[in-house]
Structures are given as structure tokens and as C-alpha cells.
Structure 1
Amino acid sequence: MTLAHFPADRRTADIRRCAQALLSLHGEEANLFWRQEMAGFARTLSAQGAEPAEISHQAALFMNAVQMELQQLFAEDDPEALDAWA
């Protein structure tokens, strides 16, 4: 039987938690936080029986969702900051 995993990009509480943490972390501290988060993410899916390709796919969805949340948080802090990205 194939197990369908809850889409990682819909884990809003985890996405917000990670984005908020990354706002206050910089450099190696942010890198370490993110590596630990992704390692835990992969371990959890692996323990649930996910194949490596599915883990990779879900990790990409999650990373993209965190990036989008970070952009939203930056926009809320400084609406003009997004103009520089455009």
C-alpha cells in the first residue's frame, strides 16, 4: 500500500515557525538551524516509509513555502523592500 504524505507546503505552523526563526538568525546560525530542520524533516518522512524521491519532493515544497513566507514577512515589515526585488 502506498502512503500519501500530507503536502509539506501546507504545514503552515511549521512554515511560519521556520520563517520567524530565520528572520532572527544570520550566517552560520541560520545555516545550522535550517540543516537541522531539514534533517529532522527527512528523518520523519523516512520513518513514515517515504521513498527518497518523495522526501526530496516534499523538502523542495517546504523550502519554497518557507521562502514565500519570508518574502511575505519582509513585505509586511517594509513594503518598499519588495520593489527592490522587482
Structure 2
Amino acid sequence: MTSTAEIIQFPIDRQLYFVRETARALERKHGDAADRFWKLTCRRLYARLQVQGMANAEINGEIEAFSKAVHLEMQRAAWAAWEARNPKGVA
């Protein structure tokens, strides 16, 4: 008797270390360097998911979710930095 199993990939946008490290790297880069870094990161992620057997549509969905997670992390970090610079309770 042959049995089969389906492997379900843990969502990339939930891999907080990867999301945060990518966001920090993007915050340190500007202009063309940031664009090149982002494109390279997405190409590597695409290749990794393709090797793991994901279909193209699923990969695109994962990359879109990862993109949103990275940008939300950058917004969260910027807000936290702003709050740290501004005293609380001052009118």
C-alpha cells in the first residue's frame, strides 16, 4: 500500500525573523541599492519556494504577503522610533 502526504509550507509572512531582517536591511539602503536588494530577495524567495514544489500562483501569493509584512514591519519600526523621540504626556 502506498501512502502520500502533502507538505504545507509555513507562511513566509509569518517568519518574523526573516521579515524583520529584510526590513532592517531595506531601512539601511536607499535608491538603486534598495531596489536591487529587494529584487534579489524576492528572486531568491521565489526560487526557494519553486524548489520546494510550490505552484507559481502560490509563490506569487507568498511573495505578496511577504512584501506586505516587510512594509508593515518598516512602518511599525518607524512609528516606534518616532514615539521614542517624542516625550509622552507633553501638551
Which TM class, normalised by the smaller chain length? 0.7 to 0.9
Q: Which residue of 1 aligns with 2:47?
A: 43
Scaled by the length of structure 1, the TM-score of the pair is 0.87
Q: How many residues align?
A: 79
Partner of residue 8, structure 2? 4
Aligned mate of 2:80, from 66, 76, 79: 76
Q: Secondary structure at the match of 1:67?
A: helix
Q: Which runs of 5+ in 1 are unaligned?
A: 80-86
**C-alpha distance in 1, partners of 2:14/2:55?**
20
Task: Tell me by how many angstroms 1:26 deviates.
Answer: 0.4
Please give the per-residue CA displacement for 1:1-44, whole angstroms capped at 9, x wherever unaligned.
54321111111011000100111100000000000000000000
Structure 1 segments (4+ residues) deviating >3 Å: none
Higher helix share: 1
- Letter in structure 1 aligned against 2:16: T
- Among all aligned residue pairs of Structure 1 and Structure 2, give the percentage whose two residues are the same amino acid: 30
| CA distances 1:27-69 after superposition (whole Å, capped 9, x unpaired) | 0000000000000000000000000000001001100100110
In structure 2, runs of 5+ residues without a counterpart are 84-91
2-structure distance, mates of 1:36, 1:16: 16
